Structure 1
């Protein structure tokens, strides 16, 4: 999608009306908000049953008729679906006009992507949620925005999009030789906010630290990757910022974002989320022409209670552990999460990545380390002790690499743990 289309979807009458609607939803008490969720779900279900060839066939195979679903509590009567099941049936799910169809792709470190379809209307609705969320922290469209990307490529250091007042800089080009240049243009631009993957902001902060430089950017909006604690601890002081994390997916079936207190809260009427032990079962509410109903996402969100209705409108989310892949599987069958804690407080360590080979249980965990020239054997020993405390006697093997040697997704997203089958 080009910048003009993005700008249009952020700035049109539909988007502005949607922002007003989201603001009104945010003011509702839980009872009225739940009623709105109920109406949205029933409408989505009936439309999918009537117009989508995929859902017509699926629900009839399970003996489900339209009248069997009376309210939102009946959602659990519907079968779950996942990306593998729908991968070759996306054209049967979509039931809008072909000329409005915009193609999107999920990405990962392995496997082929899933195609999803959007229209300008649900793209605009998504942008309304983004604009409304950012406005809560004082940032409004038109204010100077720094956007750090990988898509600019190695041959372009920055680009200024005047109409939207956005300065784009290229993450692959941020290095010790360019950081002073970037520091100057960012400082001169004086952004009110920055948007980027957490790993991009972390990389920028590391290079600033090496040169004893800092920036002042009031708000940092992160998304798309797991935000690790060690990243936040580095980003906030060197950018003199507050990180606001948005948790979602390319399929747009879940939307959860941090509030002013740093707690993750669902975006009102964005999705219905069923929090299970090893996944979240999601139903997106903003894409009516490509509905994903009870779509299983292999992300792990820990909630305080397991009250279905309460968790739709006001779940107490204790933490987001990220993808199910963000864990280490031990030889005894147990699973350990929150592995980023092992790297906190280790001096002179820039970033790291854990590679686990699931088909070779005897093979040590390959811990790839990107360090600076001051890294000492004592730093490695501290890291080894931290890891041993978390995973016991699991064999470890350290390798020292450059940032380019790490594994990234097709969209250049960073993950702490990479699993090889």
Structure 2
């Protein structure tokens, strides 16, 4: 997709209209907003049961029809769906024109990656929420934005996206040997905001601090990993910035963002969230053509109180757990986070785990594969890892069973293991 198409797929008349609608939502009373949620839920449900082959059959099997659901208070009558249930039925969930489909992939570290479908309208809606959120803190579209990204890989140091005025720099290349190059590049660019994974931004500040290279970037927008307080404590004073964190998922079924007091809140009318002790049951409201209704997200979001209606509009979020993106250390001193991205697009993996005990040791990738896993799948995974980590990190693939993976004392799974089991 060229820059022109990419830009206007995210920034167009639909985006502008949705932006204005979101702005009005913030002016509503809790009662008025709740009515909006009710209308949006009923609209999504009725379209799904009418137009989606998956939901027609699925709800029929569970004794659900149009008359079963009167309003949003009936939502828990609907059965919960999850990735495993729908991974082979995504084409039946989608209801719309095939030529409008835009494919997305979740990471596949706990199973084969899930394909999700978006449409130009859905993409525009998502961008409207992002634009509105950032504008609340003074950043507007077209202002110079620094984006620290892992997808550029080791072979590309930076790219400039002129139409959107974004300077992309390659996070795997940030280290003691390159930081002065990046510093000069950024000083010349003069960004007023930066977007990055928290671990990347933290590493960036560490390298700047070691060389005594000061920068000032008023706003820092983080996402995709857990934001730790020690990271905020380093990033904010060194860049003279304010960090704003956004929690979401590839499926676009939940979005929680931080306000000026660093408290997370749900973006209005983005999704319906049912907070449970070990998961969140989510219902997307911005993708009518690929509806995910009562979709289980296995992250833990702790909230105060259990009143569904109150938590729908204004939950008091205590903290978010289960979204930590550990890092792999490289020999040149740089780090690579969000390693789950290496598994995107790789099929036939049931589970995977990365073991790195010392930077000089080979990185061991333990794979629990399905019977259809092939050499092509391994080659794809290897290529993804090399793109992220470079060519000088030795990779070792080990095929095993689920019980051969390493788990925490509470039996929780972590993608990256840095200590030898038993040590």
TM-score between the two structures when normalised by the length of structure 2 = 0.78
SS across alignment from 1:21: helix
Distance 1:265 1:226, change over 3 A: same
SS across alignment from 2:168: strand
User: CA shift at 1:238, angstroms?
Assistant: 2.3
Bigger RCO of structures 1 and 2 (CA < 8 A, at least 6 apart): 2
User: CA shift at 1:45, angstroms?
Assistant: 0.2
Partner of 2:227: 227
Distance 1:36 1:279, change over 3 A: same
Structure 1 stretch displaced more, 54-63 or 198-207? 198-207
Distance 1:119 1:352 in 2: 31
Distance 1:279 1:110, change over 3 A: closer
- Give the count of matched residue pairs: 356
Distance 1:147 1:238 in 2: 17
Distance 2:87 2:40 in 1: 25
Contact 1:149 1:196 in 2 (8 A): yes
Contact 1:201 1:235 in 2 (8 A): yes
TM-score between the two structures when normalised by the length of structure 1 = 0.79
Partner of 2:260: 260
Distance 2:110 2:78 in 1: 30
Matched, 1:132 2:132: yes
Deviations 1:374-396 (A, max 9, x none): xxxxxxxxxxxxxxxxxxxxxxx
Contact 2:217 2:241 in 1 (8 A): yes
Contact 2:278 2:299 in 1 (8 A): yes
Deviations 1:97-124 (A, max 9, x none): 0000000001144532100000011000
Matched, 1:280 2:294: no
Distance 1:195 1:406, change over 3 A: farther
Instruction: Give 1:401's match in structure 2, choosing from 354, 359, 369.
Output: 359
Contact 1:206 1:350 in 2 (8 A): no
Distance 1:259 1:159, change over 3 A: same
User: CA shift at 1:406, angstroms?
Assistant: 9.3
Contact 1:159 1:168 in 2 (8 A): yes
Distance 2:336 2:168 in 1: 26
Distance 1:406 1:219 in 2: 37
Contact 2:94 2:290 in 1 (8 A): yes
Partner of 2:200: 200
Q: What are the within-5 Å matches in structure 2 for residues 175-324 of structure 1? A: 175-323=175-323
| Unaligned 5+ runs, structure 2 | 328-332, 338-353, 367-380, 390-412
Query: CA RMSD, aligned part only?
Result: 2.9
